C-alpha cells in the first residue's frame, strides 16, 4: 500500500469501486464528484491533495479521465493490483449494460415503436452535446490564442475534413510553442523535489512490454481464430488509434468516429451513432463506452461467416479492449512520474492547446449531429479542398426541431438532469410518431 493511504483491505477496495462502477452516471463531472465523496470525504483513503494531483495528471492523458482517476487511486491503494480492480470495476458494469442494449437495438431497430423512441432520444442527445460544448468552452477558451486554436480546429474538421489525429497533433504543437502566451499556463514550472523517487528504465521497459503486449494480444488472437479478412483487425487498428488521441473525452472524438464508421468503412448507418450515444448517456461508466456500441454494430452488420450476434459481441469486446487497455498503460507508466509531469510548462501548454482544439472539435460534432437529427437529406458541397456537409432545407423535420428546442430549454433554463431530459424526449418522441 502506498505511503499515506488509510488502511483498507483488497476486499474493501473491491466493494467500494464496484459501488462506484454501478453508480457512475452523469458523465465525468458526476463520476469524479462521486469518487471524491466516497474516497476522500467518507473513507479518507486519499487526501484532498492526492485526489487533485491525480485528477490533474489524468486530464493530461488521452482517454476517459474519470476511469483513469479511479485506476490511479486504486494504484495508490494497492499498487498495480489495486489499479486493475478499480479500473475494471469502473468500466465493467457499463460495458455489460451497453452490450445488452446493443443486442436489443440490433434486434428491434426496424420496429416502428423503437424508431419512435430513438427519434425523441436523438433530439435530447443534440441538446446534451450543445450543453457540453458550452461547458467545455467556458473552461478551455482563455485568451485570444485559445480562441484561434479552437476556430482553426473547427474549420479544419468541418470545412476541410482534416483527420482528427492531425488536428490534435497540430493543436498540441501550437500549445507547446505558445506555452508562455496561453492563459492559465505558467512560463516557468517547478521541478519535483530532490527526494521524489523517479523510476528507472526498467520500470518503463517492463510496463511497456506488459501492457503493450496485452494491447496487441486480443487482436492477434482474433486474427488467428477468424482470419485477417474479417472486420476485427480493422476495428482493432482504428480504435487503437483513437485510444491514443482521445483528449477531451468522448465528445471530442465522436464526430470523427461517426464519419469514419459511416463514410470510410461503411460499418454504421448515419443515424446509428447518435442512437449509440443516447444509449451510452443512460448507462453507468465512461461515455466513451459508446465505442463498444459502434464495435458491436460494425461486426453485427459486417458480412461474415459468424452468427451476427456472436460477431457483434466479439466486435464490442475487441473495441472495448483496445480502448481501455491503453488507459492502464498510461497510468501504470506515468503515475510514478506524476510530479515531474504535472509541473512541466511545455507539456501544460501542449495540453492547453489540445483543450482549446476540443472546443472546435465538439462544435463540429454538434453540427454533424444537428444535420443528422434535423434534416432527412444531407448532401455535400465540394470546391477544391473545401468539402462541406450541407442540408436540403426543405427536408427539415419540424417535430425534431421542436423536440430539440424543448430539450435545450430543459437543460439550459430549467437545469433538469440529463436522465430526466432523455426520458422526457423519449416519451414525447413516441407520442409524436405513434399517436
Mean pLDDT by 10 residues, the chain (435 residues): 58 93 79 89 86 79 90 92 96 95 92 90 90 86 90 91 86 86 54 53 92 97 93 95 81 81 87 88 88 96 88 97 96 80 75 86 88 88 78 93 95 89 93 87
For residue 375, list its beta bridge partners.
Answer: 396
**Sign of the torsion formed by the C-alpha atoms of 267, 262, 371 and 279:** positive
Q: Does the residue 5 lie in any domain? A: no
Which pLDDT does position 8 carry in this prediction?
66
Q: Are 52 and 136 in the same domain?
A: no
Q: Are 145 and 32 in the same domain?
A: no
Q: Parallel, antiparallel, or unpaired: how do β-strands 386-391 and 378-383 relate?
A: antiparallel
Which pLDDT does position 207 carry in this prediction?
95
Q: Are 64 and 101 in the same domain?
A: no
Q: Are 103 and 88 in the same domain?
A: no
Which pLDDT does position 327 carry in this prediction?
95
Q: Are 201 and 269 in the same domain?
A: yes
Q: Does the residue 2 lie in any domain? A: no
What angle in degrees, to the nearest 10, is found between the helix axes of 112-140 and 272-281?
70
Which pLDDT does position 32 carry in this prediction?
86
Among the candidates 58, 77, 94, a domain finishes at: 94
Among the candidates 70, 94, 118, a domain finishes at: 94
What does pTM read for this prediction? 0.83
Q: Are 90 and 204 in the same domain?
A: no
Cell of 36: 471524491
Among the candidates 69, 94, 119, a domain finishes at: 94
Which pLDDT does position 289 carry in this prediction?
93
Q: Are 89 and 227 in the same domain?
A: no
Q: Are 42 and 100 in the same domain?
A: no
Domain count, the chain: 2
Query: 348 is in which domain, residue-wise?
Result: 95-434
N- to C-terminal Cα separation, the chain:
60
For 316-353, how does the pLDDT look when each residue is reduced to its tens digit (9 = 90+)? 999 999 999 999 999 999 888 775 666 677 877 887 88
Which pLDDT does position 68 carry in this prediction?
93
Q: Are 122 and 202 in the same domain?
A: yes
- Summarize the chain as % helix, strand, coil (round to 5): 75, 5, 20
- The C-alpha atoms of residue 3 and residue 323 are separated, in whole angstroms, by 31
Which pLDDT does position 343 carry in this prediction?
65
Q: Are 85 and 153 in the same domain?
A: no
Which pLDDT does position 4 carry in this prediction?
43
Q: Are 281 and 337 in the same domain?
A: yes
Amino acid at each position: 500500500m502506498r505511503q499515506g493511504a488509510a488502511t483498507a483491505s483488497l476486499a474493501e477496495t473491491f466493494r467500494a469501486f464496484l459501488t462506484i462502477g454501478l453508480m457512475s452516471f452523469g458523465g465525468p463531472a458526476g463520476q469524479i464528484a462521486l469518487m471524491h465523496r466516497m474516497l476522500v470525504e467518507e473513507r479518507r483513503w486519499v487526501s484532498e491533495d492526492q485526489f487533485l494531483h491525480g485528477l490533474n495528471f489524468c486530464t493530461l492523458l488521452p482517454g476517459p479521465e474519470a476511469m483513469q482517476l479511479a485506476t490511479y487511486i486504486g494504484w495508490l491503494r494497492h499498487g498495480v493490483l489495486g489499479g486493475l480492480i478499480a479500473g475494471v470495476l469502473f468500466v465493467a458494469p457499463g460495458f455489460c449494460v451497453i452490450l445488452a442494449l446493443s443486442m436489443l437495438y440490433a434486434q428491434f431497430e426496424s420496429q416502428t415503436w423503437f424508431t419512435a423512441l430513438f427519434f425523441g432520444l436523438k433530439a435530447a442527445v443534440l441538446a446534451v452535446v450543445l450543453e457540453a460544448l458550452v461547458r467545455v468552452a467556458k473552461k478551455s477558451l482563455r485568451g485570444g490564442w485559445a480562441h484561434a486554436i479552437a476556430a482553426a480546429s473547427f474549420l479544419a474538421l468541418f470545412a476541410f475534413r482534416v483527420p482528427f489525429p492531425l488536428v490534435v497533433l497540430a493543436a498540441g504543437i501550437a500549445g507547446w510553442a505558445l506555452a508562455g502566451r496561453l492563459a492559465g499556463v505558467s512560463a516557468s514550472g517547478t521541478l519535483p523535489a530532490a527526494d521524489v523517487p523517479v523510476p528507472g528504465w526498467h520500470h518503463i521497459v517492463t510496463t511497456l512490454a506488459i501492457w503493450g503486449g496485452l494491447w496487441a494480444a486480443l487482436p492477434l488472437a482474433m486474427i488467428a481464430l477468424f482470419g485477417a479478412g474479417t472486420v476485427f483487425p480493422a476495428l482493432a487498428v482504428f480504435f487503437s488509434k483513437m485510444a491514443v488521441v482521445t483528449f477531451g473525452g468522448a465528445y471530442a472524438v465522436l464526430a470523427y468516429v461517426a464519419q469514419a464508421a459511416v463514410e470510410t468503412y461503411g460499418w454504421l448507418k448515419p443515424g446509428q451513432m447518435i442512437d449509440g450515444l443516447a444509449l451510452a448517456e443512460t448507462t453507468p461508466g465512461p461515455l466513451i463506452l459508446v465505442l463498444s456500441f459502434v464495435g458491436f454494430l460494425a461486426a453485427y452488420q459486417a458480412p461474415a461467416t459468424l452468427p451476427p450476434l456472436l460477431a457483434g459481441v466479439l466486435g464490442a469486446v475487441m473495441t472495448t479492449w483496445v480502448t481501455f487497455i491503453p488507459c492502464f498503460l498510461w497510468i501504470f507508466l506515468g503515475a510514478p512520474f506524476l510530479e515531474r509531469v504535472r509541473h512541466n510548462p511545455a507539456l501544460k501548454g501542449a495540453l492547453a492547446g489540445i483543450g482549446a482544439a476540443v472546443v472546435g472539435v465538439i462544435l463540429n460534432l454538434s453540427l454533424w449531429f444537428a444535420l443528422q437529427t434535423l434534416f432527412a437529406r444531407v448532401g455535400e458541397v465540394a470546391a477544391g479542398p473545401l468539402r462541406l456537409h450541407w442540408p436540403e432545407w426543405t427536408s427539415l423535420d419540424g417535430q425534431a426541431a421542436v423536440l430539440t428546442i424543448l430539450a435545450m430549454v430543459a437543460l439550459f433554463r430549467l437545469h433538469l438532469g440529463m436522465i430526466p431530459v432523455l426520458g422526457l424526449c423519449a416519451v414525447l418522441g413516441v407520442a409524436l410518431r405513434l399517436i
